[in-house]
Amino acid sequence: MNKKTFALKGTVCYSETPNRLFVMEDAYLVCDNGLSAGVFPVLPEKYQGIPCRDVSGCLIIPGLTDLHLHAPQYRFRGTGMDLELLDWLNTYAFPEEARYSDPEYAFRAYSIFTEDLKRSATTRASIFATLHGQATELLMDLLEATGLKTFAGKVNMDRNGSPDLQEESAAASARDTARWIENCAGKYRNVKPILTPRFIPSCSDALMDELSALQKAYRLPVQSHLSENLGEIAWVKELCPDARFYGEAYDRFGLFGGKDCPTIMAHCVHCTDEEIALLKERGVFIAHCPQSNTNLASGIAPVRRYLAEGIPMGLGSDIAGGSSLSVFRAMTDAVQASKLRWRLLDDTLAPLTLEEAFYMATLGGGSFFGKVGSFEEGYEFDAVILDDFNLPCPLPLTSKERLERLVYLSDDRNITGKYVFGNMLF
């Protein structure tokens, strides 16, 4: 029997669809060689005798996916929220990211970040580093050691940065990116490189051309930002007068989804109908980042519309636009923001439900990583054990109510076990 075959016993919850939550109490959740074998009321004959961790009284949910965050911004999370995006980048984000030219600083800061990510309910994440190749590799070494499954990207930016934070030229950016990709090759099992043009204002056409060639040569996925802030969108119009909309400025370089280019676009707060149609056509994943969109006063994305259109979507903490690393917090923020949007902006899009937020945090975002985010048979076994010991209640609660309270009220103390692809992290 291999180490990755075992059972967990407890109350198992996962999303079957965006609207339907599966719940089974006193259930056996079986991991067979790293993959879920399903959820059973009685341990099947075939699995009699496998090790069983009994966490009766606890909830067991799929690991959460954070589809968008900036590791080097972790130091200043929870501060500097008095500005909108473009001023915020120049005032807070760029000066902090410039520090990562120093590998010693990078190691100290990234060690704190990766420890906290390991302790959280997140099992999968897609992460921006900085433009520095060496610091990005340090981040990847630390991520690898956590056991989490992640994508990490060396950022590309050859224009509109700061004197301390900008690459010399498109050619220099491409050269450093190719070196970074080559250095990563074959080195990691858990962390993978992802091409990361910061956003259109940071990347010249010449650089986008270079990245397009690298994407094809190495068949890498892509992550970037799209239609987050009105000032940003107006700027992209000036920079790319020929693009009919922001997304086209990526698409004309082949860096906007499609079969051979899995892509995550963060935010999508102010997309036009044409842009939404292209997101859908290309199967681009949207990373919805409600806390960041509130902190930076960017707006509220029309999430229900994206769900209804069947656009793949997950949640992002967007550290440090978002202040909290918790994807539970992203879930509650998504629900709350959708209620304000419905009340104040557009009563045709009903608020999100807890089921929908849970879906986005698990199966929705997890799908970027393959068969991830569910306990249906064949899914990679990512599980989080939640103990609500410190949330006493004078009345009996249903399992769904317990889950809802944990989403709204839990912190890391409530996370008492975590597995990624069948490996126990704690």
Question: With CB cut-offs between 5 and 8 Å by kind, which of ligand GUN, Fe ion, none does residue 198 bind?
Answer: ligand GUN
Strands 383-386 and 52-62: what pairing? antiparallel
Interface with ligand GUN (CB under 6 A), residue from 65, 130, 204, 292: 292
Using CA atoms, how far residue 286 sits from 39, 67, 275, 357, 377, in Å, is 30, 8, 12, 14, 26
Does 356 bind Fe ion (CB under 5 A)? Our answer is: no
Interface with ligand GUN (CB under 6 A), residue from 124, 225, 341, 418: 225
Quick check: 77 and 323 in contact, CB under 8 A?
A: yes
d(CA 243, CA 284) in angstroms, rounded, equals 18
Of 105, 5, 123, give the one whose Cα is nearest residue 61.
123
**In this chain, which residue has its C-beta nearest to Fe ion?**
318
Does 89 bind ligand GUN (CB under 6 A)? Our answer is: yes
Question: With CB cut-offs between 5 and 8 Å by kind, which of ligand GUN, Fe ion, none does residue 93 bind?
Answer: ligand GUN
Strands (E), 186-268: 191-193, 196-197, 222-226, 263-267
Q: Which is nearer to Fe ion, 318 or 387 (CB)?
A: 318
d(CA 389, CA 414) in angstroms, rounded, equals 8
Does 198 bind ligand GUN (CB under 6 A)? Our answer is: yes
Interface with ligand GUN (CB under 6 A), residue from 32, 318, 333, 355: 318
Backbone phi, psi, residue 411, to 5°: -135, -170
Smallest distance, Å, CB 296 to ligand GUN? 6
d(CA 423, CA 382) in angstroms, rounded, equals 8
Q: Tokens in use for 60?
A: 């067991």
d(CA 262, CA 215) in angstroms, rounded, equals 10
Residue span binding ligand GUN (CB under 6 A) among the ranges 33-41, 85-93, 239-247, 268-276: 85-93
Task: Give the Cα-Cα-Cα angle 313, 317, 321 (nearest 5 degrees).
Answer: 120
Interface with Fe ion (CB under 5 A), residue from 158, 251, 318, 387: 318
Q: How is residue 284 annotated by DSSP?
A: P
**In this chain, which residue has its C-beta nearest to ligand GUN?**
321
Q: List the interface residues with Fe ion, window 250-269 (CB under 5 A).
A: 266
Question: With CB cut-offs between 5 and 8 Å by kind, which of ligand GUN, Fe ion, none does residue 149 bind?
Answer: none
Does 232 bind Fe ion (CB under 5 A)? Our answer is: no
Q: Which residues bind Fe ion (CB under 5 A)?
A: 266, 318
Q: Which residues bind ligand GUN (CB under 6 A)?
A: 70, 85, 89, 93, 198-199, 225, 228, 292, 318, 321
